[in-house]
Amino acid sequence: MKLKSKLMTVTAAAAILFSGATIASAETTLETVQARGHLRCQVGPPSPGFYNLDSAGAWYGIDVAICESVAAAIFGDKTKLEIQSVSSQQRFTALANGDSDLLSRTATWTMSRDTQLGIDFLQPNFYDGQGFTVRKDSGITSALELKGAKVCVTTGTTTELNLTDFSRQNDLNISNVTFEDFNVRDDTYLNGGCDAVTADKSALAGNLANFPVPADHLILPETLSKEPLAPAVRHGDNQWADIVRWSVYALINAEELGITQANVDDMRSTSKDPNVLRMLGAEGDLNTGLGLDKDWAYNIIKAVGNYGEIYEAYIGGGEQGIGINRAGSLNALWTDGGLMYSPPMR
């Protein structure tokens, strides 16, 4: 996997002339990625559970797994991947102008983003909601007790906008103290520069675990918002959107069907379930519309596992996880009362 800490500019595809007529014809994103030999996938500055760096400098997390899944679908190799760490302020521009092929980084799917920025959001890979962390000794037990408080928040995010709306709606006169880097945000809070810090609750849980004394802080019970976190692609390339969308669905569908990283070979060779055989490329032609090999979904599961395995590894109780229980949450499968649901793969 190639690590990129700074964004590289991609040269736009040249126009091609057909039969003497001037017709602009750009390569598809799939063709560009295949010709380059690797996927450029955008995450943010390291964030526990979603995109983080291990001691060797390798990226891991649930959003990184989406990047790896798409690389595996295209190349049969999840390491044919360049991770780009981009600021919140630059992320959507970087995707829209072609610097990134795919955005997979705790980005909330909203109407204005989906319709005004030249990008398309796809199937959410995590459902979240915004909350607050406060010091236990503050005596604050509800977000409605934050009247006149200074709250640390990352700028250029829906979090900042939600905080302003929450304060206005409840006449709290909260002062937003904004930061580009969540590490600086949290350090400011820990050093007494803010009364509270706000972010998605999953991020609060991950960051709280890294505080010097986590037991000195608590996450307040209120959830301010809906935060469907989803990968996004540039608007206008339907084939590329389908590849990313169905790569996410393949992870979910594999869990529904009981296909895991450990048993995927056996399932492909011995299963009598037509749904399993179609998905893993043992029969049918689900790959045709995507422009990928028949093994595209098999390669995803073989490389990264199913959605449940990824969740447990990075968000749940795995060695690299942040300890957020999936049971009873919106991120459970639809059969368990959650929102994780794949359309039929047939």
Give me the residues paired with residue 206 across strands.
none
* Top CATH class, 2-127+229-336: alpha beta
Give the C-alpha separation, 38 to 36, whole Å. Answer: 6
pLDDT, position 223: 94
Question: For the chain, what percentages of helix, strand and coil (3-state, to nearest 5) are there?
Answer: 35, 20, 45
Q: Are 65 and 314 in contact (CB under 8 A)?
A: yes
DSSP letters for 164-211: HHHHHHTT--PEEEEESSHHHHHHHHHTTS-SEEEEEHHHHHHHHTTS
Q: What is the distance between the alpha carbons of residues 276 and 268, in angstroms, rounded to a whole number?
A: 7
Taking the C-alpha atoms of residue 185 and residue 41, their distance in angstroms, rounded to an integer, is 25
CA distance 189 to 182: 10
Per-residue confidence (pLDDT) for residue 156, from 0 to 100: 86
Within this chain, domains 2-127+229-336 and 130-225 share the same CATH topology: yes
**Which residues have C-beta within 8 Å of that of residue 52, sequence separation ≥ 6?**
46, 59, 60, 61, 320
Q: What is the CA radius of gyration of the chain?
A: 21
Q: Reply yes or no on domain 130-225 having CATH 3.40.120.10.
A: no
pLDDT of residue 181: 85
Beta partners for 2?
A: 82
Tell me what pLDDT residue 39 has.
Answer: 98
| Farthest-apart Cα atoms in the chain, separation | 76
Which of 300, 253, 340 has the alpha carbon at shortest distance from 66? 300
Domain layout of the chain by residue ranges = 2-127+229-336, 130-225
* Residues in the chain, pLDDT under 70: 1-26
pTM, rounded to two decimals: 0.87
